[in-house]
A and B are shown apart, each in its own frame.
Chain A
């Protein structure tokens, strides 16, 4: 469905429901304005980011049904386009006795990893500034039908995404553009990236069963989805030049299953995620994709240690596994990554500290993100931070020139 038609469709629903909400139900508005500036820590000390953003959320609740809308408008002074609007979410929510139906654009989060994706495979990401934003800000909505069924402590989820939406990637000229998806074939012609089309080509399906038991939460999932970033795939041999190869940028079909768990024990919560994926391209984004025939297993193990005085320390380890039989010469770039997260609140929550350090054990490079959130008043926050990339490895070290200090001013209403 084209974007403009989608926009018109949902605003018509909004206009239709709004008066009913005023008369018969409830209407809630919320949102924020923020200003964000990122300054490079090394020469030429230029701005990597400079933007102003407005987000408006609206809930119109009637007795049986509610409508949720979240829109965003961004004025960007560094990357293009300089002004953009986005419908983050626009969905109807219909709860019934033992379940709930959601129809429309919605952001869906799976998994219990902290700033790490293993089973979080439903919503794509806005990667135009790598992953330097807050994850809940850079996750994109998908146009989907979501059905949830509840039986006591069990939850069954089924998601159908009929219209594929890819992750947003940086464009040539953007500070975070590293040429990853700018491919050329053997004759120097740019490779065309084709989005999936048709019902079978673009549909994605996800299913999940979650059990909330005494002391432990467990989920099992299955999926048939599409990779949300394209990969370079050889599609044939160039007829004019026998030695030339034809390539296409494709969003690979991914099939598989997995599980998640969270287990509380004294002052620690242990958590983990494991996913088996068939069809995931391996190797660097700039190189032709290689597929492990038997698929791969990606897993995350983590623990949150809740200490006194609102101090939490989390440890995570991300890795993947390919059987010897299916081993390829190339690997997933994000393997063997450890992360340490420290969160602490000071002055009764007026000042919050968040620091995450990712270390690639293989590439011996690291990324550290520090965030200090100071609530001048409950509604107005000044947030200071730093994104530091270090090392020569291919995972984080490649962004070494983009280490930045940043400041955000945020008014929440």
Chain B
């Protein structure tokens, strides 16, 4: 091959490589950005969770959630305000960044007067009868799944990535998830979850997304289990960022004493 021909081939390959890297990030890159998107170090949320069964009968749960980062570890306390059967129940979680360190959970039941340590690894269980698992609620890591960028789309002037994620662990509840991610907000606005048989099990849709201060906030989220025809609607009634929340609220030793409101 002549020298000039070799040089042309080199230029073409280089151009292809550079173009490819610049234009299309990998699925993993995208999910890394999503999972590490800017989040408040401290937050306080008042949430209504509405459970709707296939007969359209609604059950409503109200709760207060306070979260705070300690380094890269996230500690959260949930206080259930209604219905009366769970009023006053507190749930404390310590989610550690180090995957080798098991997350920790404690429950306090006011009627039992008891703080009980429960396990942190029941990630596939549904949270309070909703369609969300504990895994759906916790902070995740891009290395837990294999991510593949399927396509890019644009609708109403908003650009999206479509990413398919396949869990690495065989213990996971799903076989794969397909997420439509808003590029500007780095928020998955629609996620389809597929069960182990590959059938669609549930769809999570963000119905209201708003930028408050510097943070993108999902103000209304709907999760529909299409197999069981059950739906969960999460509505944030009030949210505050970077407020003063004492560290000791997140101590299990204080769970039976601390008054939060």
Contact = CB atoms under 8 A, between A and B. Distances in A.
A150 B83 contact: no
A112 B251 contact: no
B121 A150 contact: no
Given A107-B113, A215-B102, A381 B121 contact: no
A212 B257 CA distance: 15
Interface in A387-413: 412-413
B89 to A, nearest CB: 12
Given A109-B113, A266-B119, A150 B251 contact: yes
B59 interface: yes
Given A66-B259, A214-B104, A306-B119, A150 B253 contact: yes
A267 B88 CA distance: 26
Interface stretch (A152-160, A174-182, A280-288, A330-338): A152-160
Nearest to A410: B85
B102 A30 contact: no
A264 interface: yes
Nearest to B125: A310
A371 interface: no
B233 to A, nearest CB: 14
A268 B129 CA distance: 22
B118, B122, B253, most chain A CB atoms within 10 A = B253
Given A152-B251, A378-B59, A378-B83, A306 B118 contact: yes
Given A26-B261, A264-B120, A349-B128, A413 B113 contact: no
A26, A109, A212, A266, most chain B CB atoms within 10 A = A212
Interface string B99-116: 001101000000111101
Contacts of A2: none
B253 A264 contact: no
Contacts of B101: 214
B248 interface: yes
A215 B84 contact: no
How large, as a class, is the contact surface on chain A?
A: 35 or more
A66 B261 CA distance: 14
Given A30-B84, A269-B119, A95 B113 contact: no
Given A61-B259, A153-B253, A348-B51, A375 B125 contact: no
Interface of B: 51, 59, 83-85, 87-88, 101-102, 104, 111-114, 116-122, 124-126, 128-130, 230, 248, 251-254, 257-259, 261
A109 B84 contact: no
B83 A309 contact: no
Nearest to B113: A109
Nearest to B230: A348
A262 interface: yes
Contacts of A304: 118
17 contacts: A95-B259, A112-B114, A212-B251, A215-B102, A262-B116, A264-B104, A264-B118, A264-B119, A266-B119, A266-B121, A308-B125, A310-B126, A350-B129, A377-B59, A378-B59, A378-B85, A413-B84
Interface of A: 26, 30, 61, 66, 95, 100, 107-109, 112, 135-136, 148, 150, 152-155, 210, 212, 214-215, 217, 262, 264, 266-269, 304, 306, 308-310, 345, 348-350, 375, 377-379, 381, 412-413
B104 A215 contact: yes
Contacts of B88: 30
A89 to B, nearest CB: 10
Given A377-B59, A379-B84, 14 more contacts: A26-B261, A30-B84, A30-B88, A152-B253, A153-B251, A212-B252, A217-B117, A262-B116, A264-B118, A264-B119, A266-B119, A308-B125, A348-B129, A349-B128
B121 A267 contact: yes
Contacts of A269: 117-119
A269 B114 CA distance: 16
B31 to A, nearest CB: 26
Contacts of A266: 102, 119, 121
The 3 closest A-B pairs by CB, nearest first: A348-B129, A378-B83, A155-B253
B129 A267 contact: no
Contacts of B51: 348
Contacts of B102: 215, 264, 266
Nearest to B61: A378
A246 B243 CA distance: 70
Nearest to B51: A348
